[in-house]
Amino acid sequence: MDFLMSYETLRLVWWLFLGVLLIGFAVMDGFDLGVGVLLPVVAREDAERRVLLNAIGPTWEGNQVWFVLGGGAIFAAFPLIYAAAFSGFFVALILVLFALILRPVGFDYRSKLADPRWRGLWDWCLFVGGFVPALVFGVAFGNLLQGVPLRFDPDLRVHYDGGFFGLLNPYGLLCGAVSLSMLVMHGAAFLQLKTVGELRERARRWLGLAALVYVIAFAAAGVWLALGVEGYRLLSFAGKAGVSDPLAKTVAVEAGAWFANYYDAPVLWLIPLLAFAGAGLAWYLAPRRPGYAFIASATAVGCTILTAGVGMFPFMLPSSLQPSHSLTVWDSTSSLLTLRWMFWLTVFFLPLIIAYTSWVFRVMRGPVTVEEVRHSDAHY
- Write the DSSP symbol of residue 223: H
The answer to whether position 270 is within a domain reads: no
- pTM, 2 dp: 0.93
Q: Which of 201, 160, 258, 158 is nearest to 43 (CA)?
A: 201
CB atoms within 10 A of CB 343: 18
Residue 244 forms part of a structural domain = no
- For residue 319, the SS3 value is strand
Inside any domain, residue 295:
no
Q: What sign for the dihedral angle of Cα 202, 203, 206, 212?
A: negative
Report the candidate in 190, 316, 202, 306 with the shortest Cα–Cα distance to residue 251.
Answer: 316
Q: Which residues of the chain have pLDDT under 50?
A: none
Q: In this predicted structure, what is the pLDDT of residue 142? A: 94
3-state secondary structure at position 230: strand
**Angle, vertex CA 272, rays to CA 266 and CA 275, nearest 5:** 150
Residues paired with 159 in a beta bridge: 151
Residue 254 β-bridge partners:
231
197-228 and 270-285 helices, crossing angle to 10°: 160
CA atoms of 213 and 100, how far apart (whole Å):
25
| Distance of alpha carbon 135 from alpha carbon 143, whole angstroms | 13
Residue 329 CB partners (closer than 8 Å, separation 6+): 11, 12, 15, 313, 314, 316
Query: Does residue 242 lie in a domain region?
Result: no
- C-alpha 165/C-alpha 152 separation (Å) is 22
Contact call for residues 356 and 65 (beta carbons, < 8 A) = no
Any domain includes 192: yes
DSSP 242-294: S---TTS-EEEEEETGGGHHHHHSGGGGHHHHHHHHHHHHHHHHTTT-HHHHH
What CA–CA distances, in Å, run from 198 to 55, 148, 203, 204, 291?
15, 46, 9, 10, 19
218 in a structural domain: yes
Contacts of 19 (CB under 8 A, 6+ apart): 305, 306, 309
CB of 199 within 8 A of CB of 127?
A: no
The full DSSP string for 124-171 is HHHHHHHHHHHHHHHHHHHHHHH-B-EEE-TT--EEE---TGGG--HH
Residue 253, domain member (yes or no): no
The answer to the question of residue 248 being in a domain is no
Domain containing 136 equals 7-230+332-374
Residue 349: the pLDDT is 87
Q: Hey, which residues does 251 pair with through a beta bridge?
A: 234
Radius of gyration of the chain (CA): 21
The count of domains in the chain is 1
Cβ 131 vs Cβ 180: under 8 Å: yes
